[in-house]
Amino acid sequence: MAPHANDVEGNAVGINLNGEKSPAFNAFKVESPNVAYTDANIESKFTYRTTAIDATDGKYVAVPKETVYEFKTERTVGKVGLMMVGWGGNNGSTVTAGILANRHNLAWDTREGRRAANYYGSLVMASTIKLGTDVKTGDDVNIPLRDVVPMMHPNDLVLGGWDISGMDIAAAMDRAQVLEPTLKSLVKKEMAAMKPMASVYYPDFIAANQGDRANNVIPGDKACMEHVEHLRKDIRDFKSAHDLDKVIVLWTANTERFADITSGVNDTAANLISSISAGHSEIAPSTIFAVACILENAPFVNGSPQNTFVPGCVELAEQHGAFIGGDDFKSGQTKMKSALVDFLINAGIKLTSIASYNHLGNNDGKNLSSQKQFRSKEISKSNVVDDMVAANNVLYKKGEHPDHTVVIKYMPAVGDNKRALDEYYAEIFMGGHQTISIFNVCEDSLLASPLIIDLVIVAELMTRIQWRKHGEDEWKSFHSVLSVLSYMLKAPLTPPGTPVINSLAKQRNALVNILRACVGLEPENDMTLEHKLF
């Protein structure tokens, strides 16, 4: 049986990679004429309610609208592989060790006491949602988010990937200096057998200080179709060697500089393919990986801030119906910022400036000490408040925006324990001011690794969901650009012409309510009228 298939009642059953029972999900079943369970699928009918606005001369006419959609979710997950670009980096080695520790149910000693493997920090694996209200007690009933629809379990992932460094993943884990020595000793033997495949290396796109790592590279220092085909073969071979049903590819390698968007080069799918063939200097390694994945129909997620998904790349994904998502893991400082700014502006407090300072000592910080690579990160960190500001036309006039500055410095001594200092300066009642200062020590890779797991789980799930409007015959997949991944990303990629949402609460609600729609449940709401109307 494939890992985490589900029986007709919605219960998760399956065998993991070691032939052992995987952790079971808490099952529930929706009893409704709008939901049907078959051996293969969960099929639901869902009424999507929105409000259309006609704005004329400063006056608004609101018209409620209803659209009925049908969703079909495949219940069998199958066997899934995760291939990481930058597998030997801090994030890649930490994710690998974490999954192995959870798979083997490990525990280890630390100076603070005994610790056991967990998936804390993962939205999917460690958070809950309100399912409904208990008919007997009136209390809320909460279930793990992972139980809403059949999802892949990270313990079942087959791991692999590429790195410009040929170091085995156990040695890379030691180099990263993230995990406790007692934990490392438990997974070291298994990880020492893991070796990354040679990767694409174009020196112009990452900092020169990364050159001493580049001993495991595919020949050639600029874009070419040979590189695309090499990576496509790597994906096919990995899939075949492990008898996988699908492969998800995720970029967790170095931040690249931004590529110039140039007419005739990377503005259309045809021009992008032509420019790759011609060896154009503005085609980044991450875009080469994205193109290879699109052509292999392997979902590709970019966890760094560069503009991997140039317009031609997005168009290519749309043409092939392939899934892409990005950009830049949202783990520590930026997640706090998107939550706090949302709170302040929704509370009617006028934020007038945000100053963000970081220093860190891992290889990400070393790479970001180069100005071009820092600029990529600065852009992704600076735009996270835009939609929240634009949503409040009482506090902010059109075009008005808080001052916002971002500083990142490389400090080797602090290693992976990034220091983030933020000052929020706001105008309050009657010309007064409020200043909020936050000092946040982020264990960078231990925050980012669960996000990688979330991105992979949700991306895989999207390959099993189809939709159609009620009355239509043809089932469709979601748009190639997976904006549903936004909660985990600093600079969410959205389909062309659609708004970017950075509000953390809105991002989570979007994901949760899509999952609820797949089982025919109404969106979460907190009206609790049953407790207010007597």
CA dihedral 511, 98, 205, 332 (to 10 degrees): 60
Query: Among candidates 339, 387, 333, 383, which has minimal Cα distance to 356?
Result: 333
Q: Is 328 a catalytic residue?
A: yes
Average pLDDT over residues 8-37: 59
Phi-psi domain of 55 (left: phi exceeds 0; alpha: psi -120 through 50; beta: other) = beta
| % the chain with pLDDT above 70 | 92
- What's the mean per-residue pLDDT of the chain? 90
| Confidence bin at 9 (pLDDT 50/70/90) | very low
pLDDT score of 194 more than 50: yes
pLDDT score of 415 more than 70: yes
Q: Is 476 a catalytic residue?
A: no
Q: What is the CA radius of gyration of the chain?
A: 23
Check: CB of residue 346 under 8 Å from CB of residue 393: no
Query: Residues 124-175: pLDDT tens digits?
Result: 999 999 999 898 998 999 999 999 999 999 999 999 999 999 999 999 999 9
Q: Is 418 a catalytic residue?
A: yes
- Residues facing residue 35 across a β-bridge: 44
Average pLDDT over residues 460-484: 97
- Residues facing residue 15 across a β-bridge: 21
Average pLDDT over residues 224-229: 98
Which amino acid is it at 405? Answer: T
Question: Annotated catalytic residue: which of 222, 381, 418, 454?
Answer: 418
d(CA 265, CA 282): 8
d(CA 275, CA 282): 9
d(CA 345, CA 347): 5
Say which residues have a Cβ less than 8 Å from residue 219's Cβ, sequence separation at least 6: none
Question: Annotated catalytic residue: which of 188, 377, 422, 454?
Answer: 377
| % the chain with pLDDT above 90 | 74
Alpha-carbon separation of residue 236 from 240, 242, 443 (angstroms): 6, 10, 35
Q: Is 222 a catalytic residue?
A: no
Q: Is 529 helix (H, G, I), strand (E, B) or coil?
A: helix
Average pLDDT over residues 172-193: 97
Question: Annotated catalytic residue: which of 184, 337, 350, 490?
Answer: 490
Helix (H), strand (E), coil (C) string for 237-259: HHHHHCCCCEEEEEECCCCCCCC
Query: Residues 251-308: pLDDT tens digits?
Result: 999 889 999 999 999 999 999 999 999 999 999 999 999 999 999 999 999 999 999 9
Query: Among candidates 349, 340, 351, which has minimal Cα distance to 429?
Result: 349
In the 8-state DSSP scheme, what is residue 198? Answer: P
| Confidence bin at 320 (pLDDT 50/70/90) | very high
Angle at 413 between CA 409 and CA 419, to 5 degrees: 50
Average pLDDT over residues 244-248: 98
Give the DSSP per-residue string, 321-365: T--EEE--B--SHHHHHHHHHHHHHHTT-EEEEEEEEEEE-SHHH
Check: CB of residue 377 under 8 Å from CB of residue 327: no
Question: Annotated catalytic residue: which of 168, 328, 444, 454?
Answer: 328
Identify which has the larger pLDDT, 212 or 480. 480
> What is the sign of the dihedral through the CA atoms of 169, 170, 172 and 173?
positive
Domains of the chain from N-terminus onward:
80-127+140-329+446-462+486-509 (3.40.50.720), 333-443 (3.30.360.10)
pLDDT score of 28 more than 60: yes
